[in-house]
A and B are shown apart, each in its own frame.
Chain A
């Protein structure tokens, strides 16, 4: 261990490596909201609904009636003429986006070490989610099959 002259000795010990975000006396600032509870519950419930919605979606799009080759503007226009498929796609869009965003939020919370990184990654995630959900909703509601 004494190959080179050490920079450290008894009076001048090396800095220890602190783990990120250690718990201290000041830590427990209870927020007293049920956000995480509802988030956790939402993941379970939306997951069950999404299994049906997504598998049904994949079946209709890729397997039934000639498979993927049938998909075109006319096919989408035909399906969205029915309120049932509009509702299906709308619910699927919202649930899938919120489910995925909440999952990614927990991943960021688990893995981002610095508060700054954590904050900006989540802001990016929220912006992307809001944009996709709003754009998708707008298209479903304002879709015009006679567009030129």
Chain B
């Protein structure tokens, strides 16, 4: 038997259908940079008709597909999971695919620019290599002292899993790291994202290299450079309490010593 469907439209569905075509004119102000044309970045305005319930990414698609095919940006899944389309929208780091037009005041021009602190290659595309280098440096993989191939599953209690649940949500979009004022001025700092991913393994009961990771983050460019400005927590599109994770690593370092 198939699931019975509603015979009549609900009031909410009627309302949704009748307003489906209500489009407004939105101005996108995008910071363009093309090294093959000029060495200077320029702001460029685009006018487009959008439903306020659409996302910024839909607007960017509309521009690229209908107005200017040279507009360059990264996106992959378009549903807030792959972490490709982090950008600075109205001065705040967000995912373009999770930001609705109605939520960011479409009456004024919507500014879109590349995330800060990384080399801009073209338009909204940045060189993510230093970001991923910091990620690799904290060894974001399971390390065990037993080098034999495991013969059974590594079990863990629900409480042990809960301990690092928050930091497993990271999608490596770089919104946190590129919102950090310390990282803007000094790319040697590991940055919030790398510390979050170290946290995920440091507090995992199955992992046995927590000491090593703590030692790496105890370095002069490690957690002690965090100024607790909370920019990273505000920027995280996954709602990870990034600053809290960094503080927990600091606490682990101190309690390990004393």
Contacts and interface: CB of A to CB of B under 8 A. Distances in A.
Contact of A20 (B187, B253, B254): B187
Contact of A17 (B119, B225, B227): B119
A39 B137 CA distance: 24
Interface stretch (A4-12, A66-74, A134-142): A4-12
Interface of A: 1-2, 6-10, 13-25, 27-28, 30-32, 34-37, 39-41, 106, 109-111, 113
Contact of A37 (B118, B185, B257): B257
B133 A23 contact: yes
A110 B182 contact: yes
A16 B184 CA distance: 16
A40 B187 contact: no
A17 B137 CA distance: 24
Interface string B181-213: 110111110000000000000000000000000
Contacts of A27: 133, 137, 188, 221
B237 interface: no
A17 B120 contact: yes
Contacts of A7: 39
Contacts of B219: 28, 30-32, 36
A14 B188 contact: no
Interface of B: 35-39, 42, 117-121, 127, 130, 133-134, 137, 181-182, 184-188, 215-216, 218-222, 224-225, 227, 250, 253-254, 257
Contacts of B250: 40
Nearest to B250: A40
Contacts of A32: 215, 219
A10 B39 contact: no
Of B134, B181, B220, B257, which is in contact with the most chain A CB atoms at under 10 Å from its CB?
B220
Given A41-B254, A110-B185, A22 B218 contact: no
Contact of B133 (A1, A14, A25, A110): A25
Nearest to B40: A14
A8 B35 CA distance: 7
A16 to B, nearest CB: 5
